[in-house]
Chains A and B, each alone.
Chain A
Amino acid sequence: DQQVKQNSPSLSVQEGRISILNCDYTNSMFDYFLWYKKYPAEGPTFLISISSIKDKNEDGRFTVFLNKSAKHLSLHIVPSQPGDSAVYFCAASAGAQKLVFGQGTRLTINP
């Protein structure tokens, strides 16, 4: 039972354009959501998060949107840069210690 799903294994975007990565969840008890970025041969690094009491959080080029009624989360990257090429994981928690991760989406930014 996959509680957090990233249905797009890969995404290719032109440099300078907007990248939109999507994530769906099934557990209505999740109250905190995070995005992580992972380069090859490195551990994931935290990118941005959002609490369930908000519907948007922005940090520079990165914005996360939360639609609780649809149980949907998205990450927008504007403008996309070559260094953004990585695997992106969304994750969720239900107020406890544990994070549940999605399968990841490989983002490729083309020059």
Chain B
Amino acid sequence: NAGVTQTPKFQVLKTGQSMTLQCAQDMNHNSMYWYRQDPGMGLRLIYYSASEGTTDKGEVPNGYNVSRLNKREFSLRLESAAPSQTSVYFCASSDRGGLNEQFFGPGTRLTVL
């Protein structure tokens, strides 16, 4: 039982490049989330998916797209990376949305040059 897994762990991009961050959970959770963590800012929600087939914007969605591929997987795509997207990205999942604890993956550290 791996919980929430994220790939890659580290990534360096040049401005304008694209990439997809992968996330998978094996807890049969309905809801999945993508956050970014920046110094002094806490965790800010980028996008979330309340259930398979649905996605909604969070606090900071600009520059990102998401796909809820199936119940297990939720990917985050940067179409044209910018230095402002340098951050640590966390994926999380939960069973009952905000009323229950969210389980986090180990994070992806992304640097955009």
Contact = CB atoms under 8 A, between A and B. Distances in A.
Interface in A5-59: 6, 9, 32, 34, 36, 41-46, 49
B104 interface: yes
B99 A43 contact: no
Contacts, number: 62
Contacts of A49: 101
Given A93-B97, A97-B48, 12 more contacts: A41-B106, A43-B104, A45-B104, A46-B102, A89-B42, A95-B99, A97-B31, A98-B58, A99-B98, A100-B59, A101-B42, A101-B44
A40 B103 CA distance: 16
B99 A93 contact: yes
25 contacts: A32-B98, A34-B101, A36-B104, A41-B107, A42-B107, A43-B105, A44-B90, A44-B104, A49-B101, A89-B42, A91-B43, A93-B97, A94-B98, A96-B97, A96-B98, A97-B31, A97-B48, A97-B50, A97-B98, A98-B98, A99-B45, A103-B40, A103-B41, A103-B42, A104-B42
Interface residues of A, number: 27
B4 interface: yes
Interface of B: 4, 31, 35, 40-45, 48, 50, 56, 58-59, 90, 92, 97-99, 101-107
B43 A93 contact: no
Q: Is the interface of A mostly helix, strand, loop or mixed?
A: loop
Contacts of B43: 44, 89, 91, 101
